[in-house]
Amino acid sequence: MVEEGVRVVRCGGSRLNFRRAVFSVDSKYIFCVSGDFVKVYSTTTEECVHILHGHTDLVSGILVNPSNHLQLYSCSFDGTIKLWDYVDGILIKTFTIGPKLHAFFIPLHAEDSVFLTISKEEPETVRNDFLWPDIFQLVSVKLPKSTSQDV
């Protein structure tokens, strides 16, 4: 008898309420973070039309691209920002930032600039038997224009 390897199939995902859901500009779609991917739901049919998977760790933020309302940005604890065509469910570009990304923000009139919250190294100082809380840093990153898919 030949033994087969273990096959893991993801059926559900994780909590849909980790980050708030985001609507498309025309309100035809709603985007929900679910573990290491983003689910795209149709607001008219209520069905999941796409699962945007490509991150290797928890997705920590999603935003509609202010320059192109048919695209969605996602950031993750894996240190990357991904740009998606959510209508077709296609990954357009991956920006490798490096540190764990907790959230990101795009100013309305910024040209390819985003603001990210990242973890700073935790101090080893202990005060009153409590460790200092997580310390975050707000950084500005310019996303370069490139024809390459991985930047």
Distances (CA, A) of 26 to 16, 31, 44, 89: 22, 13, 12, 17
Q: Which helix (H) or strand (E) holds 60?
A: strand 59-64
**Structural domain boundaries of the chain?**
22-142
Q: Does domain 22-142 have CATH number 2.130.10.10?
A: yes
C-beta separation of 114 from 104 below 8 A: yes
Give residue 97's Cα distance to chain centre: 12
Q: Report the sign of the C-alpha dihedral through residues 109, 110, 111, 117, in that order.
A: negative
Q: Give the predicted TM-score (pTM) of the model.
A: 0.79
CA distance 8 to 6: 7
Q: Which pairing describes strands 113-119 and 101-105: parallel, antiparallel, or unpaired? A: antiparallel
Per-residue pLDDT of the chain (151 residues; tens, 9 = 90+): 566 777 655 545 555 556 789 999 999 999 999 889 999 999 999 899 999 999 999 999 999 999 899 999 999 999 999 999 999 999 999 999 988 888 889 887 777 788 888 877 655 544 444 555 567 888 888 888 887 777 7
